[in-house]
Structure 1
Amino acid sequence: MNSPAGAKIFLACGYTDMRKQIDGLAQLVDQSFKLNPFDNTFFLFCGRRCDRIKALYWDGDGFVLMYKRLDGKSSYQWPRSAEAVRELTPQQYRWLMEGLTIDQKKVIAKRSAGRII
């Protein structure tokens, strides 16, 4: 599931009622998270089972609702913290989609080219 180019990515921490459809998820974004669901933003939701997620996105003339269910025993490493919503970097989104936690303990730092001794 690819996020739209240039879109911000927000993740709803904790559990979301996966019976909610477009209107219910847009209302959750607006009222609970105090964010505008019509912005260029990709919103991610997960229920109690961590093998399926929903994504909500406004593409300019309507909402797009995406649903992804993993096969087998795979699951997403979904944060269950008390934070209501969390903004993700593109790298954190890739980690999430690859089954990794978005809070990596250690990441190799990027370095600029230096002098060779």
Structure 2
Amino acid sequence: MLSLHPAPQVYLACRVTDLRKSIDGLAAVVQEQFQLNPFSTAQFVFCNRQRNKLKILQWDHASFWLYYRRLEQGTFAWPKAESASAHVISQRELRWLLDGLSLQQRQAHLQVNARQVI
């Protein structure tokens, strides 16, 4: 089974995206609209108006990956568009979105940056 390659940065396109766009069209959005480099190691996540489909664009060494996910029931808990820029989230938050959860998981444990065992 193929799984997403973890990326140091994940960018959400909070505004609705026309998912008829493929790799070149989405890479152009990343470059022109977000002023980001589509050839970086980041993941760029796009969602449609109905919030039941998404695409993730990622550069990997010598080629692009384009992941596509379509829900048969329900919708993604996509955040409201506050601006035309991309919103940075963590890999953990991306997993929440893919599982149908919102980015605001109040019950989730906060990240601990421990330096030594007590």
Greater Cα offset, 48-57 or 73-82: 73-82
Q: Figure out how many residues of one structure are paired with residues of the other and give that number.
A: 113
> Aligned-pair RMSD on alpha carbons?
2.1
Displacement of 1:110? 5.9
Instruction: Using structure 2 for the length normalisation, give the TM-score.
Output: 0.83
Runs of 4 or more off by more than 2 Å in structure 1?
103-114
Identity between Structure 1 and Structure 2 (%): 35
Inter-partner Cα distance in structure 2 for 1:70 and 1:51: 5
Residue 6 of structure 2 contacts residue 91 of structure 2 at CA under 8 Å; is this kept in 1? no
Query: Who is 2:70 aligned against?
Result: 69
Instruction: Please tell me whether the aligned partners of residues 55 and 69 of structure 2 are also in contact (alpha carbons under 8 angstroms).
Output: yes
Q: What is the distance in 2 between the residues matched to 1:53 and 1:6?
A: 17
Where does the alignment leave 5 or more consecutive residues of structure 1 unmatched?
Answer: none
The Cα offsets for residues 63-114 of structure 1, whole Å up to 9 and x where unpaired, read as 111111112x221001122232111112211111110111234544467787
Partner of 1:56: 57
Structure exhibiting the larger radius of gyration computed from Cα positions: 1
Residue in 2 aligned with 1:45? 46
